[in-house]
A and B are shown apart, each in its own frame.
Chain A
Amino acid sequence: MTVGFEDNEQFVRQFITEFEEHIEAIEIKLLEVEENIDKNQSLNPETINSLFRSIHTIKGLSGMLDFNQLLDFTHVWENLLDNIRKNKQEISIEIIEVSFRGLDLLSKILAEIKEKRSDKDIKVTDIINELENIFFDNDLESKELNKANEYFNKLLDIFKNNLLDAEKEKLINEIENKSNIYQISLFLDKNCFEKDISYLSTCINLEFLGEIINISIEPSSIPSLNNFDPNIFDLQVFILFSTSDNEDRIYKIIKNREIKVNRVLFENETESNEDNLLISEKEVSDKIIDNNQKKLPTQNNIRVEIKRLDSLLSLIGEQVISKNQLDFISSELLDALGNKNNLSVDKNRLHLIAENFKEIMSTFSRLSNDLQQTVMRIRMLPIGNVFNRFSRVVRDLAKDTGKQIDLIIEGENTELDKAIIEEISDPLIHLIRNAVDHGIETPSERKSKGKSEKGILHFNAYQQGNGIVITIRDDGRGLNLELIKAKALEKGLITDDTQLSENEIINLIFEAGFSTSNNVTQISGRGVGMDVVRQNIINLKGTIDVETKLNQGTTFIIKLPLTLAIIQALLIKINNQTFAIPLSSVIESYRAKPDEIRLVNNREVLKLRERILPIMYFHDYFELEKSKNDNPYLYIVVIGIAENRVGFIVDKLVGQQEIVIKPLNDPLVRIKGIAGATLISQDVVLIIDTISILLDSKSYKTSNIN
């Protein structure tokens, strides 16, 4: 019976979380084992034990929650792993391949369960057959024999001693086919061989109903010759019979007053009659399936290290102390001030109170910062969670493309915000696909170039300032700049006389629909990808850069903030209103004289060092009136993504500050070019969405300026 989600929602949610973790763990272990086999290394027994434990746990949990397909499947898998860990069977590539297919099925079942359905629609027979086929049991014969003997022991002696081998086999088959097994004892009176009520007809009718496995006469029931009296003798016959029908039918067929029918019960069978037959599967599922069934809300939780929670509690404790101290100061102050009509005040005492207050506020401020940091850290997860998933992706891609790839992962303990981790996965996978499909060459091609047949794919992550840097490097073909230029020309992105730096050429790959690949593979090549990758990274307030060398390889360098919730910002003023610009977008700030701004092709530009920088007023973008400004200088904030730069003129630079981003999700308050808001000294400060403005701006390409 499928679990009722309304009743068990909490347990199902917990199950999903654990199931996800186990799937990840299984993948890691399988990859480990495969690597051991590839490299002819000895297998760490703990790896197999770990696999076994994961499957065993999933099996147990699925049983509790009636996910029966999952239960059946993991039961068989568990048996196989148990065999391996007990050295009854060796691990092999075949087992690994089947296990990976099993893993994919686990993911499929997880997705199904997450959709708030049962797992009953998932087909597991194929994988079960595969697992059973590779399951090797030395003791199978004796196991079967033991099982058979268990069955035979439940029979009357007359059958135990008289079954032929073929009959034994038939009996086992019938039992395993879930037929009812009956032992029929029949006294055939002298007339029962009369042709009109022939015993033979009875036998034939029984054969229609089921299967006669054995008929036996008990020798001890035959009197000795001297004692034989035909007038009182009735021949007793024993019939071992299997049928899916119940015994009432047998009584109807054997019209004999001296008949005994008893059903033999095997393995967890219980007596049942027709009335207690299970209702049909359809009826069960009809009961459970609710057309209005809602999707199970997405599990949005996080595992937190106990020590981080302890830190948090400790800080909160200290803050409570500070709060109490402030309360005391407050009382002291009131006391020192005395009656409001009292004009004389002890200044020394006030001074002392003020000093104490300042000290406590300093402590309070430190505690607030520490608290903030600790809570932020609770949201942090190691990027290894993402990298480890890539191992499987790379493995499968390598197999699909016939390439050999050595995957090196570094910096997996580098942490970043959970929200970012969740969003960065897809862009990174796309970059990996490109690296495998376009970057790394086939073994033969690599050999002809004097490279090792095995290509290298290197992931790294490290903290840099307030952000994190992720690099994906391959030692493959590298980007062909000539090819990129040619393609850009073909697509009309550039003209023949467009002057482009090497970086600008490389960045053309981020244009929508751009692909230099002539082959659209299942993996990549459609040109729908790099622009999406870049946009996703931009949405995370990050940047992406590329370094490449022909025939030596390509490196993608992604910079992301540690968290999306708190950022460093540059505060600026526009029309006496304070705005915040995320510092990650700010290249530099510059103070220019008005006459430094030139008009070229109807666009305002500034020559900044050797670079021509397009200029625009923030006022123009937000359609604000430019207030009269007596300042002889223009304050320009240069913002940029990769090679793209724009200088925005603001009224005033206020300073740098760490701010907490509050998103503006209400459609009524969503403003173009505004990423969110923050609170600074009781004032609401809008946070500028510089990246959108940059992309929106028609004049953002420096290459368009002649």
Chain B
Amino acid sequence: MFFDSLKLNEKEHLIRINNEIDNNLCLALKEEVINLVSNKNIFIRINLEKTDFINTAGIGLLLSIHFELQKLDGKLIIENPQTYLNDLFEATRATKYLLIQNNNEE
């Protein structure tokens, strides 16, 4: 499976990515989020702990999900990205929009 999708609580839903984010995963992730949004799950966490690569489409998708949830007064949180992904987020200034949390530091 590309990712695990589970309800955290009444409000939040977690998607744990298990692979690198390429175009195939992007397509699957997109469908999952559209599904969740249609069920009024608009507070989504995407955990990238196990992801060591993301392509430009992946960043684009994350941004697209962010803007979509924002439009619905929801929120996207990116959890525990690895260093390289963090650098990419920073280098593209995706960090301006994406809310990134590193729970491992706690």
Q: Specify the chain A residue showing the minimal Cβ separation from B29.
A: A230
Select one of B37, B55, B65, B91 contacting A200, CB under 8 A.
B91
What residues of B have a CB within 8 angstroms of the CB of A492 in the complex?
A: none
Are B92 and A225 touching (Cβ within 8 A)? no
Q: Specify the chain B residue showing the minimal Cβ separation from A164.
A: B96
Q: Is B34 an interface residue (CB 8 A)?
A: yes
Are B91 and A223 touching (Cβ within 8 A)? no
Q: Is B101 an interface residue (CB 8 A)?
A: no
Are A190 and B93 touching (Cβ within 8 A)? no
Select one of A216, A231, A237 contacting B23, CB under 8 A.
A231
What residues of B have a CB within 8 angstroms of the CB of A199 in the complex?
A: 88, 91-92
Are B96 and A217 touching (Cβ within 8 A)? yes
Complexed CA–CA distance, A233 and B26 (Å): 11
Select one of A190, A195, A203, A225 contacting B33, CB under 8 A.
A225
Mark contacts of B69-105 with chain A using CB atoms, 8 A cut-off: 1 yes-contact digit, 0 otherwise.
0000000000000001001100111101100000000
Are A223 and B64 touching (Cβ within 8 A)? yes
What residues of B have a CB within 8 angstroms of the CB of A200 in the complex?
A: 87-88, 91
Interface size class of A (residues with CB under 8 A): 20 to 34
Complexed CA–CA distance, A188 and B63 (Å): 15
Complexed CA–CA distance, A225 and B94 (Å): 17
Are A230 and B60 touching (Cβ within 8 A)? yes
Complexed CA–CA distance, A224 and B84 (Å): 26
Q: Is B48 an interface residue (CB 8 A)?
A: no
Complexed CA–CA distance, A191 and B57 (Å): 10
Are A226 and B34 touching (Cβ within 8 A)? yes
Complexed CA–CA distance, A195 and B88 (Å): 11
Q: How many residues of B contact A (CB 8 A)?
A: 31
Q: Is A297 an interface residue (CB 8 A)?
A: no
Complexed CA–CA distance, A216 and B91 (Å): 9
Select one of B54, B67, B91, B96 contacting A222, CB under 8 A.
B67
Are B30 and A190 touching (Cβ within 8 A)? no
What residues of A have a CB within 8 angstroms of the CB of B65 in the complex?
A: 225
Are B60 and A192 touching (Cβ within 8 A)? no
- Assuming the contacts A200-B88, A230-B27, A231-B23, asked whether A225 and B59 have C-beta atoms less than 8 A apart, the reply is no
Complexed CA–CA distance, A230 and B63 (Å): 12
Are A233 and B97 touching (Cβ within 8 A)? no
- The residues in A between 205 and 238 inclusive whose CB is less than 8 angstroms from any CB of B are 214-217, 219, 222-226, 228, 230-231, 233-235, 237
Q: Specify the chain A residue showing the minimal Cβ separation from B54.
A: A193
Are A230 and B57 touching (Cβ within 8 A)? yes
What residues of B have a CB within 8 angstroms of the CB of A217 in the complex?
A: 63, 92-94, 96-97
Q: Specify the chain B residue showing the minimal Cβ separation from A190.
A: B55
Select one of B58, B63, B91 contacting A215, CB under 8 A.
B91
Task: Say how far A58's CB is from chain B's closest CB, in angstroms.
Answer: 51
* 7 further interface pairs, Cβ-Cβ under 8 Å (given A188-B56, A190-B56): A193-B55, A216-B93, A217-B63, A222-B64, A230-B30, A235-B57, A237-B92
Could you tell me which A residues sit within 8 Å of B by CB distance?
Answer: 162, 188-193, 195, 199-200, 203, 214-217, 219, 222-226, 228, 230-231, 233-235, 237
The 4 closest A-B pairs by CB, nearest first: A230-B57, A230-B26, A235-B56, A230-B23
Could you tell me which B residues sit within 8 Å of A by CB distance?
Answer: 22-23, 26-27, 30, 33-34, 37, 53-61, 63-65, 67-68, 84, 87-88, 91-94, 96-97
